Structure 1
Amino acid sequence: MPDHHPSATQQSSLKVYMRLLRYVVPYSGAFAISLLGFLIFASTQPMLGYILKFFVDGLNNPEASFFAQVPYLSDQSWLADLKLLQAVPLLIILIALWQGLGSFLGNYFLAKVSLGLVQDLRVSLFNNLLTLPNRYFDSNNSGHLISRITYNVTMVTGAATDAIKVVVREGMTVIFLFATLLWMNWKLTLVMVAILPVIGVMVASASKKFRKQSKKIQAAMGDVTHVASETIHGYRVVRSFGGEPYEQARFLHASADNKAKQLRMVKTNAVYTPTLQLVIYCAMAVLMFLVLLLRGDASAGDLVAYISLAGLLPKPIRQLSEVSSTIQRGVAGAESIFEQLDEAPETDEGAEERERVSGRLDVRGLTFSYPGSDAPVLRDISFAVEPGQMVALVGRSGSGKSTLANLIPRFYHHEHGQILLDGLDLERYRLRNLRRHIALVGQNVTLFNDSIANNIAYGDLAGAPLAAIRQAAEDAYAAEFIEKMPQGYDTLVGENGVLLSGGQRQRLAIARALLKDAPVLILDEATSALDTESERHIQAALDKVMHGRTTLVIAHRLSTIEKADLILVMDRGEIVERGSHAELLALNGYYARLHSRQFDESVPAAGSEAD
């Protein structure tokens, strides 16, 4: 049974490689020109070797006519006069020019293909990232995803283009040299062929090793980028908790691991190449012995040319054998790239699109557990919100509030129960259309390293008139701090808005939601990052933003939700209480206890005795 394995691996290698070559198809014109260039280059190798024959013969008689042996050319008087003395140097220069032309065409047009390929693969990977479901990002770290776009892609193009360059250029060189050798002395040449199977076996065994090692190197490279990007993103935490030594050790370990794996690959290469050289030179030794033995009536020039041409063979053969490591590296990189490209995108089976919805939300019997986990995070949740109403979700951390908020824009796919928007199941809306009706303000505000105006008018909102952006900023109480900034709305906010305070970032997020003007608004802990002063501003901003919109608020601070039309109290994925603020206080249960903890002075002590 194990015997099948190598061929299966090779089979999949071939499949991956063929799939990779499909990316070369759009560049077939440039590719054909580069192949022609390499063909020209390869044809010059035997020419240069063969010139030696005339050179050695010319040593004995430099005045001999170059074309004397060619009957139909010897009639031309000026050609008949061309002596070896002039012909040999002239031909060397012509061959060099011809070779230069081939080399330029081959290398330049292949680089065109190669760089086009890098770009196409990078763009495919990046565009594909934008379609992948949330769970893919939950289970893959960003370092490996970035490394795939930067490092693995260059490995792959090496396999698709550099390898082809070597295969064509050196392969054709070997074929041309071989044909010339057969033509010059076929008996000797057939003896040489006997050594080829030995070389073949060596190449096959080494290529398996290269592929394994290359996969490990790519994973190690991903670890290096992962540690670096985590440290860069979390540098404040690293510094405030004295994590520098830990991060240094972690990075050193990842880097050393990468180095060790690279070294192992170099070692395989370093042992393999001289061994192959040795085999080839043993063949040469046998060849020289045979030349001396079987020289027959060949001239000295013939034999020198033959030995020289045979001596030109090892280099291209060695390069052809080394190409397998380039190809294996590329195949390993391509596997990880295609793995991502083959990931199923976010499911979007909806076909309905609505220009505008009123915002009526119905949740019926919703039960949800995260992919790969059996424990339900939400159990049998049901509630309804009329257009323009505000529903608040309260409860301890981990009670499932944010999960519920994530299901409404379909960030995750629910199996049991229904969520209806304007009487239509969420699953039936086209994804882009559904998300257009929902504005989300989370506790972790994401800002891009761009101007404030572009951060407010982001995505679908890009190109919104400045007046609308200013109005949104004003309504979100953000205009006051924006206008104090040196460049106003054109001020750059730094990576993820590091140059702004938590409250300022939050207000920009609210301005973004206001500009979107969506009928459904989800506020997930939107006021948790704020001081009381900012909160007062934002409370006013939220009152404005909620007006006439169906709003789902998740909040720790109960002060933000007292005005809610309906409060749902959640615990361990279930709704344990529901009602208005006054009704829930009167119940004197779970909500009253939460309330008394936050506003000890405003609730009679009776409320806290139930704790």
Structure 2
Amino acid sequence: MSGGPRGPMAAGAMAPQRASDFRGTARRIGRRLLQDRATVTAIAALGVIGTTLSVLGPRLLGHATDLVFSGYLSSRLPAGASQAEVVERLRADGQDRLADVLLGADVRPGQGIDFTQLGWVLAGAIVLYVLASGFMWWQGRLTTAVVQRMVGGLRDDVEATLHRLPLSFVDGTERGELMSRTTNDIDNIGQSLQQTISQLLTSLLTVVGTLVMMVWISPLLALVALATIPLAVWLTQAVMRRSQPQFVAQWAATGKVNGHVEEVFTGHEVVKVFGRQRDVREEFERRNDALFTSAFRAQFISGVIQPLMMFVSNLNYVLVAVIGAVRVSTGSLTVGDVQAFIQYSRQFTQPLTQIASMVNLLQSGMASAERVLALLDTELERPDVGPGGAAPLVPTQPVRGRVVLDDVAFSYTDAPLIEGLDLVAEPGATVAIVGPTGAGKTTLVNLLLRFYELDAGRITLDGVDVATMDRQALRRCFGVVLQDAWLFKGTIRENIAYGRVGDVDDAAVRRAAEAASVDHLVRTLPDGYDTVVDEGGGSLSAGQRQLLTIARAFHADPPVLVLDEATSSVDTRTEALVQEAMGRLRRDRTSFVVAHRLSTIREADTIVVMESGRIVEQGDHDTLLAAEGAYARLYAAQFAGTAT
């Protein structure tokens, strides 16, 4: 495409180069989740209830252990004696340690185990665990709903953002990288949150609940269990600081691999023609190796957390078991208390281990979220604003098609491309734009359609500044055929009718196809106008695709036509037919024709010759030839080359 670089490449530098903002990204994702406050509140309430029931379970099991232990001791003691008398005898015999154990237990000499009470306790524990499981299942279901709604809303926002991104951003960004953010990264966010958010909430509630129960059973053992927490937190933070940049690099590398694959697949024929398969493989291997390295480092470093936390958990278990046994031997605690406390210590450290093991998922999800949010934060097209800040203008009268460019200036970068350009296109006139490659011809078309905003000057349509018009309303006034013919996946009928909003009129579609000299081609296809073409129209030749895009412009029936090398891919005979058809189409319409074949624009009302972003000549064909200037040199060079 002529006219210089298509937007500053810096705009497309999407791979994150700065350090990851884990907390900031997590807060923004959290705010999105909290948009569904009712469901989030229900999730939290269900988590509290389910966790509370689960936490009460070990206490009941500890009581059951005490019943068994006390009943067993009672059965070994002589009936008729009281607990105090048995303890007194043991102390008299010098068995103080055993006396302390009996003193701490609920012993009734000669009675044995109370199986009725034991049965009720065990039944209560089963009911608690069943209810806890039910509440946790309900919580998981609601969590799935709220996460998927959030991810769906994120996709909607990304889709809306993509339609409002300036063309400079799209031009300067690899399509594969952009697709990776809108598909892979969003999917990774959903999967990460789905696997962690419910478990994270449950784990945090379990830590709080078990801590309360541990303090209730034994404040001393609770302090012992808490002594290992600072070590666990320090280890987790140390690992996270090293793994998070690797997750960011992993997903950036994923985007680069996708971009390379998409680019090579799109240009597969060119790669084959020029025998660059080896270079393509080497480039893929280089990017794939970078992805492997970053992914390996991210997963390995984050994976270290779980064994470290298991070590801390086992250390905590040993301390609790040893000190708990000493406390039982002194009668300060019962065996059931120690058993319950050991369960609680496991419940206390297990959530910490789970949280640590979820760190890699959270970091991966937040790395993807950062990339998606960066896309949402991209500066969008300038909002449509009418005169004086009012609503943008929408044509209410039929557009006549008078287009005026007044002292227009524009540049993609700091280097100016177009300066002081003035041009008037009267209604129904055909303006041909010619000039060498890079002169700014296609850029001029982009400015007419407001794909880019002017640096200075203004463009008016029927006296109305296009900068004050609604973009969609403005672009509906133009029918455009670009040199890059593009078809969407669908039937030929749908592709031709794409340029007009509303119901598809089969008769109008056929008339447009006949005008573009493509009706005969369509009728030779097996399914005619119902023939399905793939994305990009790869099953058709370049000339056939261009004829269909010309038919699309015919069907749109706009007041202003823009033809950017619209016949560059058709043969000479078809070009003659299309030129005749476009002559009919241009009748009573303002037309801008960008052309390299000067033979196709000899009948234009005005021919504009551009060089280095300026109009150096304008007039009709005969006048410009007679002037023996830039146009005459272009014309002579083109036809001299043909003759040679």
Q: What TM-score, normalized to structure 1?
A: 0.89
Structure 2 equivalent of residue 345 of structure 1: 380
Structure 2 equivalent of residue 20 of structure 1: 29
Structure 1 equivalent of residue 547 of structure 2: 507
| 1:113/1:161 contact within 8 Å kept | no
Structure 2 equivalent of residue 329 of structure 1: 364
Q: 1:477 to 1:320 in 2, by over 3 A?
A: same
Instruction: Name the amino acid aligned to 1:379.
Output: E
Q: CA deviation at 1:253?
A: 2.2
Q: Does 1:451 align with 2:484?
A: no
Measured in 1, the distance between the counterparts of 2:258 and 2:44 equals 37
Structure 2 equivalent of residue 138 of structure 1: 171
Q: Does 1:97 align with 2:130?
A: yes
| 1:63/1:84 contact within 8 Å kept | no
Instruction: Name the amino acid aligned to 1:144.
Output: E
Structure 1 equivalent of residue 559 of structure 2: 519
Measured in 1, the distance between the counterparts of 2:73 and 2:428 equals 104
Instruction: Name the amino acid aligned to 1:596.
Output: A
Q: Does 1:599 align with 2:639?
A: yes
* Aligned positions of 1:145-544 closer than 5 A: 145-158=178-191, 160-295=193-328, 296-297=330-331, 298-347=333-382, 348-350=384-386, 351-355=392-396, 356-370=398-412, 373-458=413-498, 460-544=500-584
Instruction: Name the amino acid aligned to 2:325.
Output: L
Q: 1:459 to 1:294 in 2, by over 3 A?
A: farther
The DSSP-based 3-state class of the residue aligned with 1:313 is helix
Q: 1:284 to 1:423 in 2, by over 3 A?
A: same
The DSSP-based 3-state class of the residue aligned with 2:280 is helix
Measured in 2, the distance between the counterparts of 1:231 and 1:123 equals 29
Measured in 2, the distance between the counterparts of 1:15 and 1:272 equals 23
| 2:317/2:346 contact within 8 Å kept | yes
Q: CA deviation at 1:81?
A: 8.6
Percent sequence identity over matched residues? 31
Structure 2, gaps ≥5 residues long: 1-17, 75-112, 387-391
Q: CA deviation at 1:160?
A: 4.6
Superposed CA deviations along residues 116-165 of structure 1, whole A, max 9, x for unmatched, are 22221112112210111101112221111111111222333355554331
Measured in 2, the distance between the counterparts of 1:506 and 1:192 equals 74
* Between 239-248 and 175-184, the greater mean CA deviation after superposition: 239-248
| 1:54/1:84 contact within 8 Å kept | no
Measured in 1, the distance between the counterparts of 2:505 and 2:437 equals 40
Match of residue 549, structure 1, among 572, 582, 589? 589
Q: CA deviation at 1:303?
A: 1.8
Measured in 1, the distance between the counterparts of 2:468 and 2:68 equals 88
| 1:503/1:534 contact within 8 Å kept | no
Q: CA deviation at 1:306?
A: 1.8
Measured in 2, the distance between the counterparts of 1:435 and 1:388 equals 18
Structure 1 equivalent of residue 610 of structure 2: 570
Instruction: Name the amino acid aligned to 1:592.
Output: A
| 1:158/1:327 contact within 8 Å kept | no
Measured in 1, the distance between the counterparts of 2:129 and 2:71 equals 22
The DSSP-based 3-state class of the residue aligned with 1:447 is coil
Instruction: Name the amino acid aligned to 1:584.
Output: L
Q: CA deviation at 1:588?
A: 2.0
Superposed CA deviations along residues 10-38 of structure 1, whole A, max 9, x for unmatched, are 9x543332221222234333333333443
Measured in 1, the distance between the counterparts of 2:239 and 2:215 equals 30
The DSSP-based 3-state class of the residue aligned with 1:344 is coil
Measured in 2, the distance between the counterparts of 1:64 and 1:105 equals 44
Measured in 2, the distance between the counterparts of 1:454 and 1:497 equals 13
The DSSP-based 3-state class of the residue aligned with 2:593 is strand
Instruction: Give the total of aligned pairs.
Output: 580
Q: 1:602 to 1:214 in 2, by over 3 A?
A: closer
The DSSP-based 3-state class of the residue aligned with 1:569 is strand
Q: CA deviation at 1:320?
A: 2.2
* Between 594-603 and 47-56, the greater mean CA deviation after superposition: 594-603
| 1:447/1:455 contact within 8 Å kept | yes
Q: Does 1:38 align with 2:31?
A: no
Q: CA deviation at 1:217?
A: 1.0
| 2:480/2:553 contact within 8 Å kept | yes
Q: CA deviation at 1:427?
A: 0.9
| 1:38/1:106 contact within 8 Å kept | yes
Measured in 1, the distance between the counterparts of 2:149 and 2:268 equals 36
Superposed CA deviations along residues 525-570 of structure 1, whole A, max 9, x for unmatched, are 1111111121112112211211111111111111110001111112
| 1:148/1:336 contact within 8 Å kept | yes
Q: Which has the higher contact order (CA 8 A, sep 6+)?
A: 2
The alignment's C-alpha RMSD in Å is 2.5
The DSSP-based 3-state class of the residue aligned with 1:21 is helix
* Deviation beyond 4 Å, 4+ runs, structure 1: 61-65, 158-161
Structure 1 equivalent of residue 103 of structure 2: none
Measured in 2, the distance between the counterparts of 1:376 and 1:456 equals 38
Q: CA deviation at 1:363?
A: 1.5
| 2:447/2:454 contact within 8 Å kept | yes
Superposed CA deviations along residues 330-384 of structure 1, whole A, max 9, x for unmatched, are 33222222221122221122422113211111112222111xx122222322121
Measured in 1, the distance between the counterparts of 2:446 and 2:342 equals 75
Q: 1:44 to 1:454 in 2, by over 3 A?
A: same
The DSSP-based 3-state class of the residue aligned with 2:525 is coil
Measured in 1, the distance between the counterparts of 2:395 and 2:55 equals 72
Measured in 1, the distance between the counterparts of 2:290 and 2:19 equals 26
Measured in 2, the distance between the counterparts of 1:161 and 1:525 equals 50
Q: CA deviation at 1:264?
A: 0.6
Larger Rg: 2
Superposed CA deviations along residues 412-471 of structure 1, whole A, max 9, x for unmatched, are 111122222112222121211111111111111111011111111115434232222122
Q: 1:154 to 1:498 in 2, by over 3 A?
A: closer
Match of residue 152, structure 2, among 119, 124, 129? 119
Instruction: Name the amino acid aligned to 1:524.
Output: D
Measured in 2, the distance between the counterparts of 1:310 and 1:22 equals 33
The DSSP-based 3-state class of the residue aligned with 2:36 is helix
Instruction: Name the amino acid aligned to 1:352.
Output: L
| 2:607/2:620 contact within 8 Å kept | yes
| 1:62/1:83 contact within 8 Å kept | no
Q: 1:62 to 1:244 in 2, by over 3 A?
A: farther
